[in-house]
Structure formats: structure tokens, C-alpha cells
């Protein structure tokens, strides 16, 4: 029979003020929920790449990981419908003397579904052939009102030179033509939250940045990035500077 070790997480009065919180019970991370007058505890470590589940949100009965939004039932630990095979351990909870105790030995085990690796995750392999040059235009402009872009013009000259004079293989990607979700700053949450391949590209099959990753990681020997000064949007430096003037 599994050993039990009950750990005092703190007073009920304090812990019930938050619907979800990440707590340490010795060295075990616990995501403690308080919902409908009831405490429950699951592992505070996400199955994906270890996000702190207790720092996420509650969506109904599901704890939503703050890193890439995987969901686990707050009482059963099971993944959301369709992904029940991805489950985090559940810990028993008891109230004694107005304190919340958690059993360090989980009642259920962590289980994982085998997720097929994303095609971008393959090992890059360079076949023989001419030098490959990828150009990327980062100019942003309104599609129905195109204007002359100096950085685009320079990029086209460079790509033409690589192709015609240097006999390179070339490709030109215009970010403006692609549909993609902007970076959501996962790196700012944790270096481990910024994954390869990008978690946004993995979770959104319509994300077209895979073309850029494909070109940069699996194809090009040379990468030319053409950018206007401010990428079509005020940078944070710009923004901060303008705030100083107010
Ligand atoms: S969804 Fe939890 S770590 Fe990625």
C-alpha cells in the first residue's frame, strides 16, 4: 500500500480566497482549487513542458495551464475531452482543525498520450546542391494601398543577385502575405515555455509561420532579413519615449 504523508497547506480561511493557486508541499508542486465550497488538488506540473498549473486559470472544472493552455480536470486530473489519456496526478485533500491537508502520495498516476512530433521537429538534413538563400521581408503595409518600400526593393535586388549572378537557389517570403498569430511572449513566462517548434504553430494548424521556420531551419544556408526601421508598429522603446513627452 502506498505510504501517506499529509502536509498542512495552511488555514482554510486563507486558502479559500483564491479559486486556484500553486503551492509547494515539501518539494511537490500542487495546484489547489477551491470550487463550489470544495478543495481539490492535482499536480502543479503540466504534462506538456512542465508549466505551473496552479498559476493558470479555471475554466469550469478545468485548470488551464498558463503556458500553452492545456487543460486538466481539477478533481480527476484528466485532460480535456478527447485528451483524457493526458492526465496529471490527483492528491487527496482533507480538512482538519480548519487547515487544508494534502496527501503527498498521489492517488492517481501521471499518464501521457503519445503526441506525433510536429514535422518541423525533424533533424535538419542538408542535401548536396547550390547555396540556398532565403530572403524575408518584414515590411507591413495595407494590401489595398501598397506603397514603395525601400527595404523590400533592396531585398529584391539582393535575391536577384544571388540567383542570377551567384547561381544560388533562392526564395522570398513576405511576412505581410502570411496569416499567423503574433508571438504571445511565452519566453517572458519562462525560457522553457518558449518551445521548438513554436507552440503557437503547433496548436494552430492555420498558422503560416511554419513556412518561415521551414525556410530558416531546414532549407537556407543564408538568410537575408529586410526590415524597415519600425516594423510597421511602434516599438516599446518608441512607446516609452513618447510617454516621457506627455
Ligand atoms: S500547456 Fe502546460 S506547459 Fe505547455
Distance CA 30, CA 23 (A): 5
ipTM (interface pTM): 0.99
pLDDT at residue 182, as a whole number: 85
Average the pLDDT over 152-160 and give the result: 96
When pLDDT is cut at 50, 70 and 90, the band that residue 231 belongs to is: low
Of the listed ranges 163-167, 183-187, 211-215, the one predicted with least confidence:
183-187
CA 104, chain centre distance (Å):
29
pLDDT digits (tens, 9 = 90+) for 73-97: 999 999 999 999 999 999 999 999 9
Atom of ligand 1 nearest to the CA of 66: 2
When pLDDT is cut at 50, 70 and 90, the band that residue 223 belongs to is: very high
Atom of ligand 1 nearest to the CA of 70: 1
- The phi and psi torsions of 242 (rounded to 5 degrees) equal -70, -30
pLDDT digits (tens, 9 = 90+) for 94-136: 999 999 999 999 999 999 999 899 999 999 999 899 999 999 9
For residue 48, give the nearest of 204, 202, 180 by alpha carbon: 202
* Ranges in the chain annotated CATH 2.102.10.10: 6-103
pLDDT digits (tens, 9 = 90+) for 135-150: 999 888 887 888 898 9
Average the pLDDT over 201-208 and give the result: 92
Residue of the nearest CA to atom 4 in ligand 1?
68
238 has pLDDT over 70: no
233 has pLDDT over 60: no
For residue 55, give the nearest of 189, 178, 151, 209 by alpha carbon: 189
Residue of the nearest CA to atom 1 in ligand 1?
68
210 has pLDDT over 70: yes
Atom of ligand 1 nearest to the CA of 68: 1
Distance CA 202, CA 4 (A): 39
Contact 199, 213 (CB under 8 A): no
**Options 3.40.50.720, 2.60.40.60, 2.102.10.10, 3.40.630.30; which CATH number does 6-103 get?**
2.102.10.10
**Could you identify the residue written with the cell 502570411?**
178
Residues flanking ligand 1, CB < 6 Å: 46, 48-51, 65, 67-70
pLDDT at residue 245, as a whole number: 53
Amino acid at each position: 500500500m502506498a505510504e501517506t504523508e499529509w502536509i498542512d497547506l495552511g488555514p482554510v480561511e486563507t486558502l479559500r480566497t483564491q479559486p486556484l493557486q500553486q503551492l509547494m508541499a515539501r518539494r511537490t508542486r500542487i495546484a489547489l482549487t477551491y470550487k463550489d465550497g470544495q478543495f481539490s488538488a492535482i499536480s502543479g506540473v503540466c504534462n506538456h513542458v512542465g508549466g505551473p498549473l496552479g498559476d493558470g486559470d479555471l475554466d469550469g472544472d478545468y485548470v488551464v495551464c498558463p503556458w500553452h493552455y492545456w487543460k486538466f480536470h481539477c478533481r480527476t486530473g484528466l485532460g480535456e475531452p478527447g485528451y483524457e489519456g493526458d492526465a496529471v496526478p490527483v492528491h487527496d485533500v482533507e480538512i482538519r482543525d480548519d487547515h487544508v491537508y494534502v496527501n503527498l502520495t498521489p492517488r492517481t498516476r501521471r499518464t501521457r498520450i503519445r503526441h506525433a512530433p510536429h514535422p518541423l521537429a525533424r533533424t535538419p538534413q542538408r542535401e548536396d546542391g547550390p547555396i540556398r538563400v532565403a530572403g524575408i521581408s518584414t515590411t507591413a503595409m495595407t494590401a489595398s494601398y501598397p506603397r514603395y518600400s525601400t527595404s523590400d526593393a533592396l531585398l529584391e535586388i539582393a535575391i536577384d543577385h544571388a540567383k542570377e549572378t551567384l547561381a544560388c537557389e533562392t526564395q522570398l517570403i513576405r511576412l505581410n502575405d502570411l496569416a499567423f498569430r503574433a508571438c504571445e511572449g511565452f519566453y517572458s513566462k519562462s525560457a522553457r515555455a518558449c518551445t521548438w517548434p513554436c507552440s503557437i504553430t503547433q496548436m494552430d494548424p492555420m498558422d503560416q509561420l511554419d513556412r518561415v521556420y521551414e525556410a530558416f531551419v531546414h532549407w537556407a544556408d543564408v538568410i537575408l532579413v529586410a526590415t524597415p526601421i519600425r516594423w510597421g508598429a511602434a516599438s516599446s522603446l518608441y512607446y516609452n519615449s513618447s510617454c516621457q513627452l506627455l
